[in-house]
Structure 1
Amino acid sequence: MRSLLAALALLALAGACRAADTWALERWTPPFDYRGTPSEIAYQPLEKARKRWRICASYPHLKDSYWLSVNYGMVRHARKLGIALEIVEAGGYPNLDKQKAQIAGCAKSADALIVGAVSYDGLTPLLVTLSKRMPVIAAVNDIDSAGVVAKSGVSWISMGEAIGHYFAALHPKGSAKVRVAWFPGPKGAGWVGFVEEGFQRGIAGSSAEIVSVKWGDTGFEDQLLLLEDLLEQHPDVDYIIGSAVTADAAVSLLRAKNLTGRIGVLADYFTHGTYRAIKRGKVIAAPTDLPVVQGELAIDQAVRALEGTLAVSHAGPAIRIIDGNNINATDINDSLAPASFKPTFKVE
């Protein structure tokens, strides 16, 4: 068990994601298929765009710091390249119609579209139509590939599997049973089915008994209500595992109920909140998929698609586990936006 935990921890220490002029990424072959084979590449981002392109980027929301970090990466790279960027956000995963309307409006004056979708296939007809006059790039959340020329993202199967394997190292099969509540996220979102698949695969080697599964939007209040229901139904639960927002809400609720330390908390992605909670020992671990870099890469792919130089159509950073053993030795600049950064909706 210790050797596996050590190996997982070392992933977070294995070099910086970026050198001075390259990004260390994983490229997917065949593209657009996370069940394919990733290979390590040294990706050289653009230094300047050939003209002041206009990019529209649509997010599911900006309710947590994960998408704020994606926002930071996009804004930083757009400014570096000298392009214009307009950002819209749908306000949450239930808001498919709102995202459609936002994209339709924003795309009217854009040369390319980047979309972090609220639904795996709910946007497909619109994106296919828009792709006839502009490149469409999928960022972070996986979507149906129809009409899409590039994807910046990681395998959310691997994200779920990473935290599942980490848990299995803590409680391997054959050890004492532990009661686990699992919070996958909102049904229908492009990442949730995949993280669910990976988590179940990873945790299969553990002694976990899943006593409750709670689906819901990744807003703090939504997750807090689900957690309160959980503790009423299963006050003897041993672990809560779910989104970074689930972890944030769990830390607050467990503190209020004097349950901190009795119930363990793990997250299946990494944000400012999980960073602070891991440092304080309130959250055990979380995988990071370097959302800052994913945002930068999506911008780079969009500009390359416009300029006819797109050679890497599907790539993303390697996933790393962050826990209390390595957090103080881990460079988090590619995972988290600076504390001073505020949501930015336009780069002129």
Structure 2
Amino acid sequence: MTASFGRTGSRGLALATLLAAGAGFGGAALAADWYPYTVESWNPPFDMSSPRTTVDYVPLKKADKPWQLCVSFPHMKDAYWLAVDYGIADEAKALGVKMHLVEAGGYTELNKQISQIEDCVANGAQAVIIGAISYDGLNNLVHEIHGKGIPVIDVINGISSKEISAKSLVSFGEMGAKAGEYVAKLHPKGSKAVKVAWFPGPAGAGWVEAGNKGFMDAVKDSAVQVVETKYGDTGKEVQSKLVEDTLQAHPDLDYIVGTAVTAEAAVPVLRSRGLSDQVKVVSYYFTPGVYQGIRRGQILAAPTDSTVIQGRIAVDQAVRILEGKDYIKHAGPKLYVISKDNINSFDRAAALAPDGFTPVFSVGE
């Protein structure tokens, strides 16, 4: 079943009606923009096992006033978060709201993320969008912010608190599963065993625990043997060291599967060791480096969660909540795998920031 969620804020509005009415745009303008975009809506929200419906998401045209949004990221070390930043900043500009972004510097910096958000709220933030360092570690803070009547939107990573106002994110369990399924299909049960090293990301982050379970479940009934699981921060230096150590311990390795940073780091390491033909690389999410790696045949595949769109939706959710308008409490783009088969035809603007985009930390301030 496909529903539609239009810029007027009403559910059930058919896309044909939206186009006919114009909603302030001509059909050409709608076709050229990012919306309508196919997303999934979980109901009841905040539970990835809930039933889903498919929704055509269309944002508000403009905010009623220049609301002040605070955005908190774990870091800005890689192009994945740069893409989220682009989606958030561009949508804030489109809606005419103010946005201030802080980044904690890495997945070890939970206390810094908490203090940065507290400062944001003290400085007048009217809504907070959080890409969480920890699945459980922000719950007390969310409780405090919620108690002040300030909405909190959980973007990308996942927060376990039930006091979240909305979620703009996908199932990283399914992201991990899609990567696992890709490898498992190449090496089904009964075929020659292959040795895989798995790099899920920083231990304790909600998306990492989900991704790990999804991947491990997807490969358990196949010829895949996971010979090593290495957790670590998604900085390139950390991931390069983990890859180096793993190759030293397992010279007969067949696959490296892990974060986008792992995949990007693995390519030059494998080249320098003369292992590019022996060890195949798969990422479980998508970045420009992974995009280039797939194009060049250095990385086999990666699922995309349309990162830019998640950022856009989080901003739209925040504004809708502040203005008392109807909103989807839990939305996430539909997942699909990018490989050499569709690398030249997928929607780049939904997953990657434009070439040359640099971090934007404030809008309208």
Class of the TM-score when normalised by the shorter of the 2 chains: over 0.9
- Unaligned runs of 5+ residues in structure 2 are 1-30
Cα distance in 2 between the residues matched to 1:20 and 1:238: 39
- Which of 307, 323, 326 is the equivalent residue of 2:339? 323
Alpha-carbon contact 2:309-2:351 (below 8 Å) kept: yes
Aligned to 1:79: 93
Q: Deviation string for 1:159-217 (max 9, x for gaps)? A: 11111111111111110000000111111012011001110111123201111111111
Cα distance in 2 between the residues matched to 1:145 and 1:59: 17
Aligned to 2:17: none
**Offset at residue 252 of structure 1 (A):** 1.4
SS in structure 2 of the partner of residue 334 of structure 1:
helix
- Which of 131, 138, 142 is the equivalent residue of 1:123? 138
Where does 1:267-282 land on structure 2 (aligned, <5 Å)?
267-282=283-298
SS in structure 2 of the partner of residue 45 of structure 1:
coil
Aligned to 2:103: 89
Cα distance in 2 between the residues matched to 1:20 and 1:195: 27
Cα distance in 2 between the residues matched to 1:329 and 1:81: 29
Which structure ranks higher in relative contact order (CA pairs < 8 Å, sequence separation ≥ 6)? Answer: 1
Cα distance in 2 between the residues matched to 1:33 and 1:154: 11
SS in structure 2 of the partner of residue 329 of structure 1:
coil
Cα distance in 2 between the residues matched to 1:232 and 1:311: 51
Aligned to 1:339: 355
- Unaligned runs of 5+ residues in structure 1 are 1-16
Alpha-carbon contact 2:66-2:97 (below 8 Å) kept: yes
Runs of 4+ in structure 1 off by over 4 angstroms are: 17-21
**Offset at residue 18 of structure 1 (A):** 8.8
Aligned to 2:306: 290
Cα distance in 2 between the residues matched to 1:183 and 1:322: 19
SS in structure 2 of the partner of residue 107 of structure 1:
helix
Alpha-carbon contact 2:70-2:127 (below 8 Å) kept: yes
**Offset at residue 259 of structure 1 (A):** 1.2
Aligned to 2:152: 136
**Aligned pair 1:101/2:105, yes or no?**
no
- Which of 128, 147, 167 is the equivalent residue of 1:151? 167
**Offset at residue 311 of structure 1 (A):** 2.5
SS in structure 2 of the partner of residue 160 of structure 1:
helix
Q: Deviation string for 1:204-253 (max 9, x for gaps)? A: 23201111111111110000111111011111111000000000000011
**Aligned pair 1:260/2:276, yes or no?**
yes
Larger Rg: 2
Aligned to 2:19: none
SS in structure 1 of the partner of residue 206 of structure 2:
coil
Where does 1:163-202 land on structure 2 (aligned, <5 Å)?
163-202=179-218
Q: Deviation string for 1:259-291 (max 9, x for gaps)? A: 112100000000000000000000000000000
Aligned to 1:4: none
Normalising by structure 1, report the TM-score: 0.93
Amino acid at match of 1:39: T
Q: Deviation string for 1:115-170 (max 9, x for gaps)? A: 00000010110111011221000000111133211000001111111111111111
Cα distance in 2 between the residues matched to 1:207 and 1:19: 44
Q: Deviation string for 1:66-90 (max 9, x for gaps)? A: 0000000000000000000000001
**Offset at residue 331 of structure 1 (A):** 2.1
Cα distance in 1 between the residues matched to 2:273 and 2:120: 45
Aligned to 2:68: 54
Q: Sort the Cα spacing of 1:221 and 1:176 in 2 relative to 1 into closer, same or farther, 3 A.
A: same
Amino acid at match of 2:357: F
Cα distance in 2 between the residues matched to 1:344 and 1:302: 19
Identical pairs, percent: 48
Alpha-carbon contact 1:301-1:310 (below 8 Å) kept: no
- Which of 208, 217, 227 is the equivalent residue of 2:224? 208
For the aligned residues, what is the CA RMSD? 1.4
**Offset at residue 310 of structure 1 (A):** 3.6
Amino acid at match of 1:139: V
Amino acid at match of 2:81: W
